[in-house]
Amino acid sequence: MRDVQVIVGPGLAADWALLGEVAEREFAALGVSGALRHARDAVEARALLSSTAGGPVVAIPGPSGELRDLMGSVEGVVWCDFSRVRQIEGAAHIHGRGIDGLAWAIRHAVHQDRQRPLRVRYGKHPEQWGDLHLPAHGTADLPLPVVALVHGGYWRSVWAADLMDALCADLTARGFAAWNLEYRRPDLHGWDATTADVADGLGALSGVAASLSGARLDLGRVAVVGHSAGAQLALRAAADSAKVAMAVSLAGVLDLVEGDRRHLSSGAVAAALGGPARGDCGSPHATYAESSPLLRLPLGVPQLIVQGSGDDLDLIDFSRRYARAAEAAGDEVTYMEMSGDHFAVISPRTPIWRTTALAIADRLAGDKPAKPA
C-alpha cells in the first residue's frame, strides 16, 4: 500500500495538532502509513499535489480560491471541506462533516486506491451513479450474488456513498459483488427524486450485468441493504416491487410517523418528506403512507432487521416494533440485536456486521446455481 498524503491548504482555520491526531488514528486503523503536509500558499499546494506519485491523496483546500479551482481537474484526489459548500462535479468531494470529515476522506482515499470500482451512471445527473465492486479472484466460473448498498445520513446531501466503502471491501472479500448506490438527496432535489433514484439504481443492475465481461452477476440472488435512512429507502424499494431476494435494515429509520413526531435528528424526517406526518395539508400524509416501511407491511420479501443495542433509543424502538409488526403481517423476518452503536453495523471489524454478513450469505446461498460441467 502506498503512503497516504494529506495536503492542508493555506489559511485553514483548524488546529493542526488535532488534524494530525485524526489522521494518525485513521492511518493506524487502516494499516497504512501517511503524513500531513502543510502548504504555505497556493503555489506550494499545487506543487505538493503534483508530487504525490499516484498514491492516495486527501486535500483540505481551506479558503484559497486558487486551490479550489483545481477541484475536479486533478485525478485521484479526495477533497475534504469541513464546512458545507457546493458539491464539485467530477470530484471526489466530502464536505459538511466538520473535522471528522477528514477521517471519512482518508478512508475513502484508501479504499478507492485498494479497489477501484466500475462506476456506472443510471441517469444524467452527477449524483445518479453506482459503483460496482467485484471480487479480486475467481469470478468467471459462477454468477456472483449481489449486495446492493443504500447509504444513510438522514437524507442529507453532506452524507454520501463513501459511507459504505468498507462494506464493499468486506463483501467482495466474501465473494459477493457489491453495488454501492448514490442518489439525489431530498434536501436539494426533493423526495420524489430520491425515491425514483433508488428504484432506478436498483433497476440498472440488469444493464450492468449485461455489459460485464469476465464476471457474471446472479440477479436472482440480490440483497438490498440500507443503513439508517438508507434502510428506509431500501425497504421502501422492496415494497415497491424491486426484484430482490432479501431486504436488510441496518439501524433503520423504519417508522417515519413516529420519527417525525419525535423530531428525530432535528426534524430530519419532515425536512426530507416535505412536511409533517400530521399537518394541515394533505400531501405529506400520502407521502408518509407510501414511504414508511412500517406502513407498507407486508413487504413480501424476506427481511433481516439489524440493530445495535448502543444506538439511539428511538431507532431501537423502531426496529423492535417493526420486526414484530412484519412478523404479524406474515412476512419472513429475522430480528438481530447485538452490541454496537449506530456505525458498528457498517464496520467490518465488529461482531454485529460479521454476523449480518453471514446471515446474508446464508440467505443468498439458498438458490445457488450448480457449477457448469
Domains of the chain (ranges; CATH) run 4-109 (3.40.50.9100), 116-367 (3.40.50.1820)
pLDDT, residue 138, reads: 55
Confidence of residue 140 (pLDDT cuts 50, 70, 90): low
Residue-wise pLDDT for 95-115, tens only, equals 999 999 999 999 999 999 998
CB-count burial class (<10 Å; 0-12, 13-18, 19+) for 99: middle
Q: What is the pLDDT of residue 27?
A: 96
Whose cell is 440498472? That residue is: 204
Under 8 Å between Cβ of 52 and 75: no
Question: Residues 246, 366: contact at Cβ < 8 Å?
Answer: no
pLDDT at res. 43: 85
Of the pLDDT bands very low, low, confident and very high (cuts 50, 70, 90), residue 1 is low
Note whether 18 and 99 are within 8 A (CB): yes
Mean pLDDT of 50-77: 81
Helix (H) or strand (E) holding 118: strand 118-121
Average pLDDT over residues 51-58: 80
Please give the average per-residue pLDDT across 151-178, as a whole number. 97
- Shortest CA distance to 122 belongs to which of 202, 193, 51, 192? 202
Q: Is the pLDDT of residue 373 over 50?
A: no
- Report H helices in the chain: 16-30, 42-50, 65-68, 100-114, 165-173, 186-189, 191-203, 205-211, 229-239, 256-261, 264-273, 283-291, 313-328, 351-364
Q: What is the mean pLDDT of residues 51-61?
A: 83
Residue 84: which pLDDT band, with cuts at 50, 70 and 90?
confident
User: How confident is the model over 169-178, as a mean pLDDT?
Assistant: 97
Q: Could you tell me the three cell numbers for 372?
A: 457448469
Distance CA 183, CA 122 (A): 10
Mean pLDDT, to the nearest integer, of 59-70?
Answer: 82
* pLDDT at residue 316 greater than cutoff 60: yes
pLDDT, tens only, 227-278: 999 999 999 999 998 899 999 999 999 999 999 999 999 999 999 999 999 8
| Amino acid, res. 60 | I
- Kindly state the cell numbers that stand for 293: 416501511
